[in-house]
Structure 1
Amino acid sequence: HLGDRTMRLRKQREVVAEVLAPLRLSVTELEKLRNLMRREMEKGLSKETNSTASLRMLPTYVCNLPDGTERGNFLALDLGGTNFRVLLVQVRSKEDGGVRMKSEVYTIPPDIAQSNATELFDHIVSCIMDFYHKHNILGTSLPLGFTFSFPCSQIGLDKGILLRWTKGFSAANCVGEDVVKLLRDAIDRHEVVALVNDTVGTMMACAYVDQKCEVGLIVGTGTNACYMEEMRNVGTVEGDEGRMCINMEWGAFGDDGCISHYITPYDEKVNSESINPNQQRYEKLISGMYLGEIVRYIMLELASRKVLFKGQQPPTLKTKDVFPTKYLTNVEDPGHHYVCNILEELGMPVSTEDGLVVKEVCHTVTSRAARMCAAGVAAVVEKIRENKRMTKLDVTVGVDGTVYKMHPFFAKQLQDTVTILAPNCNVKFLLSEDGSGKGAALIAAVACQNKMPA
């Protein structure tokens, strides 16, 4: 019997190693991915090739980082899903307490999210008026920063055309319209100074704390990055003086097929079952919306090869999203009891060996996500270093997102891999505190300070 068990375990080890091998990327493969990202960045920045590049490299018209001298009271709106936040942000000197915030959260009911421009923006204004009453600021005119986390083509700091709705929104008469104008039409008393992507807000909130912050990164339900680029390199905007923040929209990296070498059969299944097949290919390897599904498909494969769950494919395991990404965080706890409990709750026949295998699968999928994300970060910081013609660059990346914040080893794996892939850059990661609220207000504050033309 002992011999049988040893043989069974050896077979299990061999099959698990074979199935997980494509997810275990070598440094050479990660360097190739970094170089591909860099090539796509150049394509997206160039006027000639922008239209065919998988990275949109969208100009944000944010040209200055905060320097700590900004002062004043600002209103910030944050619309990125079913919750809508209104914030009063008071920017003071560091001695007077720095940035203080008061906020209220309002719900956008589904019937409003799926109505039309007038009803949606009237609802937003009624929330703002409620906020003004609650905080006793009626009659004051405050500069406003608007975080609007839907795909937009910005044509100015305060102009952005909605490209498409996502996240359950489908309000009519909004796509193709300037969302700032829709908001202005609904509020005539406010000066809307800045329209902000949440990634840019993250960078700005961290730059207020750390002057070396020139990159924003989000790794949560989705993933994206932005960074400060030299205007001389931005072919899609007139002028070559100074710098501008570029919203990379890097989740779409590889939509042209350039990263197909990295895509496993399990990723392919996740992609074909998603609501946006063949879009956001890089995001589908890294972000929280997809990691649990990758693990589920790998477990199905291992069960079909008779090395997991006694060779059975439990019906629950065939249910989409039954194994959410938060489980990948939970199973990293020491020991394997937690993973066994999760699997038993899902009705799977589980042994100690099964628990250890599932834990290894989760670890491998998260590790690949962190390392692939690091290849993107390395491409960005190397670009900044070359722009500045420096042999060694000290730079800070402002980060937000549940995967980065909640997972016990994602952040360390990301940092360690960036160190290998960008050896000439000393990269520090700084967790953002409320980038989408504070960041929007700081962008408005910087814009007011610089008296940018509207």
Structure 2
Amino acid sequence: MSSDHKESSYKQKNIELADLLTKQLIVSNEDFEKVSALLSKEFDRGLRSTEDSFVKMYLTYVRSLPNGEENGRFLALDLGGTNVRALLVEFHRSQSESSATESNQKQQQQEPQKGSIEIIDSSIETIPTEIFHGTGEQLFDFIAEFIIEFAFRNKLTGERIALGFSFSFPSIQKGIAEATLVTWTKTFNCSGVVGCDVVRLFKASLERKAHPSIPFIDVVAILNDTTGTLIYGALLDENCRIGLIVGTASNACYVEHSSRIEKWPSNYNDPEQMIINCECGAFGDNYVIDWALTCWDRQLNYESLNLNKQIHEKLISGMYLPELLRRCLLTLIELGIVFNGKTPIELLQPYSIRTRYMSHIDQDDENDKNNFPNTRIALTNIFNMKNPLFKNGFNDSDVKIIHMINRRITKRSANFVANALRTLANRIDNIDISIAYDGSLICLHPHYRCWVEEKLNEFIKTSEIKKRFRLIRANDGSLYGAAIVAAICDR
């Protein structure tokens, strides 16, 4: 046997071994049925009690969806990352009563049309690093000054303008404009805020920083980014009943019927519904899906800063997928399957792979005839090409293996998202359900959205409950949704 033939046989054997070892990343539809049933039970438990559940199913107190009757100017403020953003919009009713003819009025009653939204101005400002770890008063004073300056710039006049506040941190709401912070996440750790009503703190800062040249800014609603995404989606499509975020983090919300919300003891008047913020990233924190986890999922969890927390999110979100890829590669290196059993120094650092490189790798087709060019480019960005291990470039079998496991990790994420969506959809009476989505992973990845849609269609074929799904992109839904909710409150 020639040396070339031996090498080819060795490479093929490595590909087959990698395929066999990483098949555990492929979840069967039968297993997804079990996961869906368990998730549905957790949803029910959360609707009975927030305290006794892991999937919290928080009440948002947002009950009405946009209907075209919103009118006037409104402010929105978004605080959820390293920037704070402001938006000024104006709503125009779908048809003014003064100009509508009798026949048009009849048609309008039969076919309600959404009003239009006009963007007047927007602004964004980076939050200074020292504020992330300062006091709550410093944080809210900063954003109060920011929104007041924004209002002043736009020469807002009058006695009052309503503002919707998008606040994307775990909070318990007791009303549409009352939210107690449970814990800070991301890079925030401001003192004096956890356990307090953030709207009250924000209003106090607005009062301190009030300017006689602008109107009274009235914070009428607080919501998170997922709720905002659903609301914005409902402006675009009247069948929108689910909001979805898949980015660095992941979450979903949906419109639930009042009678099914046991922990909401009153207020069953029209509309008999409420948007529920699921916080479904915590599904599995009570070990019910441990059987579905791979060895790499368990390793990641054990060595994470939030041990046994956000298990479902660790299977899905952009923060964790690259780390799963890194850990898979380390296992294959240890077994001598890739990189000739030698570990590049870059893989010794946790979270050293960027999500965008996984997106680049997934641009290549799994049956690529051009030898995975995007995968090779991504690998040159991940690894130092001066390393002697890569002096002759990347081994063909290594490239194919890395592409294979990268796709399996990302596709599994999309499948878990689809499974959560169909579980939520089964709780909604509508046959036609639109899902508004936002987030860097689902919006920027070349195939993620399609994979979610494909899996939803697979589930439909085997389900007794037939649904028709439509995914609609709601760019900046957190910000637009906050403005829309402010308009709904004034409506």
Q: How many angstroms does 1:138 deviate by? A: 5.5
Q: 1:340·1:352 contact (CA, 8 Å) conserved in 2? A: no
1:73 aligned partner = 73
1:131 aligned partner = 150
SS at match of 2:119: strand
Match of 1:429 among 471, 475, 482: 471
What is the distance in 1 between the residues matched to 2:357 and 2:334? Answer: 22
1:452 aligned partner = none
Q: 2:230·2:436 contact (CA, 8 Å) conserved in 1? A: yes
1:143-182 alignment runs, 5 A limit: 143-182=162-201
- Whose Rg is larger? 2
What is the distance in 1 between the residues matched to 2:11 and 2:185? Answer: 46
Question: Any gaps of 5 or more consecutive residues in structure 2?
Answer: 96-114, 208-215, 365-369
**Residue identity opposite 2:30 in structure 1:** T
Match of 1:232 among 238, 244, 259: 259
2:339 aligned partner = 309
Per-residue CA deviations over 1:174-212 (Å, capped at 9, x if unaligned) read 110000000111123322110011000000001011000
What is the distance in 2 between the residues matched to 1:274 and 1:299? Answer: 18
Is 1:395 aligned to residue 437 of structure 2? no
Q: 2:86·2:122 contact (CA, 8 Å) conserved in 1? A: yes
Q: How many angstroms does 1:159 deviate by? A: 0.3
Is 1:214 aligned to residue 246 of structure 2? no
2:426 aligned partner = 382
Distance 1:317 1:94, change over 3 A: farther
Match of 2:488 among 427, 446, 450: 446
What is the distance in 2 between the residues matched to 1:94 and 1:353? Answer: 59
1:289-308 alignment runs, 5 A limit: 289-308=319-338
Q: How many angstroms does 1:139 deviate by? A: 5.5
Taking only aligned residues, the RMSD between alpha carbons, in angstroms, comes to 1.6
* Deviates further, 355-364 or 11-20: 11-20
Is 1:363 aligned to residue 382 of structure 2? no
SS at match of 1:53: coil
Q: 1:231·1:243 contact (CA, 8 Å) conserved in 2? A: yes
Q: How many angstroms does 1:8 deviate by? A: 0.9
What is the distance in 2 between the residues matched to 1:190 and 1:89? Answer: 14
Q: How many angstroms does 1:99 deviate by? A: 3.3
What is the distance in 2 between the residues matched to 1:101 and 1:226? Answer: 28
* Deviates further, 193-202 or 273-282: 273-282
Per-residue CA deviations over 1:122-143 (Å, capped at 9, x if unaligned) read 1111111221232222565210
**Residue identity opposite 1:381 in structure 2:** A
**Residue identity opposite 1:299 in structure 2:** L
SS at match of 1:52: coil
Distance 1:272 1:72, change over 3 A: same
SS at match of 2:51: helix
What is the distance in 2 between the residues matched to 1:132 and 1:201? Answer: 22
2:211 aligned partner = none
SS at match of 2:285: coil
2:17 aligned partner = 15
SS at match of 1:384: coil
Per-residue CA deviations over 1:243-293 (Å, capped at 9, x if unaligned) read 010000011010000111111111122222322121100001101001111
TM-score (norm 1): 0.94
1:89 aligned partner = 89
How many percent identity over aligned positions? 33
What is the distance in 1 between the residues matched to 2:218 and 2:134? Answer: 26
Is 1:281 aligned to residue 311 of structure 2? yes
1:264-279 alignment runs, 5 A limit: 264-279=294-309
2:250 aligned partner = 223
Q: How many angstroms does 1:3 deviate by? A: 3.7
What is the distance in 1 between the residues matched to 2:8 and 2:249? Answer: 42
Is 1:412 aligned to residue 412 of structure 2? no
1:338 aligned partner = 374
Distance 1:428 1:354, change over 3 A: same
**Residue identity opposite 2:80 in structure 1:** G
**Residue identity opposite 1:436 in structure 2:** S
Q: 1:220·1:404 contact (CA, 8 Å) conserved in 2? A: yes
Per-residue CA deviations over 1:398-439 (Å, capped at 9, x if unaligned) read 000011011111111101111222441101100003211110
Is 1:26 aligned to residue 53 of structure 2? no
What is the distance in 2 between the residues matched to 1:52 and 1:141? Answer: 41
Aligned residues between the structures: 441
1:184 aligned partner = 203
Per-residue CA deviations over 1:107-130 (Å, capped at 9, x if unaligned) read 211211211122111111111122
SS at match of 2:66: coil
Q: 2:47·2:260 contact (CA, 8 Å) conserved in 1? A: yes
Match of 1:194 among 221, 235, 253: 221
1:83-122 alignment runs, 5 A limit: 83-93=83-93, 98-122=117-141
What is the distance in 2 between the residues matched to 1:107 and 1:145? Answer: 20
TM-score (norm 2): 0.87
What is the distance in 2 between the residues matched to 1:184 and 1:426? Answer: 43
* Deviates further, 367-376 or 134-143: 134-143
1:46 aligned partner = 48
Q: 1:60·1:157 contact (CA, 8 Å) conserved in 2? A: yes
Q: How many angstroms does 1:343 deviate by? A: 2.3
What is the distance in 2 between the residues matched to 1:152 and 1:298? Answer: 35
What is the distance in 1 between the residues matched to 2:222 and 2:261? Answer: 20
